[in-house]
Structure formats: C-alpha cells, structure tokens
Amino acid sequence: DTGVSQDPRHKITKRGQNVTFRCDPISEHNRLYWYRQTLGQGPEFLTYFQNEAQLEKSRLLSDRFSAERPKGSFSTLEIQRTEQGDSAMYLCASSSGRWETQYFGPGTRLLVL
C-alpha cells in the first residue's frame, strides 16, 4: 500500500500523559498536513510542512502540541500533558504541491480519560 499511513490507529491515555503520533506520507509528496477532527465536524487545520520546514501553524496548535518532520519524510505529532478536550481524530494528509489534491491517512483516534 503506497498511501498515507498513520500509527497508531487508536490511542487511549490518561489525562496528563504525553502521546506521540506518526504519519508516513506518500513517498514523493513534499507537503504534509496535520488536521484534527471532532465528532460531527469537518477536519480543522493544525499545521503543515513543506519538506522538513514547518511553514504554518494554526492557532488551534497550543504550546502543548509540537510537530516535526526531521528528514522531510515521516512526521510526528506530540501532545504533552493531554487534556480531555484533546480527544479527537488526528488526520494526516500529503500532497505533491500547494494546489494539488491532499491524500488523507486513516487517522489516529485519541481518547483522553
């Protein structure tokens, strides 16, 4: 399968713990995006990378959130000191250019107890 993959698919954690998610984009795509989606809502933009550079961050991305794409390939999204409000589906997408179609991964569903 050469699509976007995400790991883990599901994560249950206790409030206050740190969690890290991984995204592997389509190999030739230089753009990688992170979104958050809550039940009944469309995805909300969090941040995006062009190669290894993080070019934009949403105001939704609080100081507890950090994303990296160290070698311009896979990316990680870390949430520190998780809160119950962080419970959501975290989606990763990649594209070959600014105006090109974004291909989404299956998402990581986070539940903070």
Partner 1 sequence: KNQVEQSPQSLIILEGKNCTLQCNYTVSPFSNLRWYKQDTGRGPVSLTIMTFSENTKSNGRYTATLDADTKQSSLHITASQLSDSASYICVVTGGSQGNLIFGKGTKLSVKP
> Judged by CB under 8 A, which of 24, 44, 52, 68 binds partner 1?
44
25 scored as a contact of partner 1 (CB under 8 A): no
Instruction: By CB under 8 A, name the one of 45, 54, 68, 74 that touches partner 1.
Output: 45
CA 35/CA 60 separation, integer angstroms: 10
4 vs 79, beta carbon nearer partner 1: 4
- Residues numbered 56 to 95 that lie near partner 1 (CB under 8 A) are 56, 89, 91, 93
Nearer CB in complex with partner 1: 74/104: 104
Q: How far apart are CA 35 and CA 44, in angstroms?
A: 5
DSSP 47-98: EEEETTEEEEE-TT--TTEEEE-TTSS-EEEEE-S--GGG-EEEEEEEESST
Q: 76 near 68, Cβ under 8 Å?
A: yes
| Site residues (vs partner 1, CB under 8 A) | 4, 40-45, 56, 89, 91, 93, 98-99, 101-107, 109
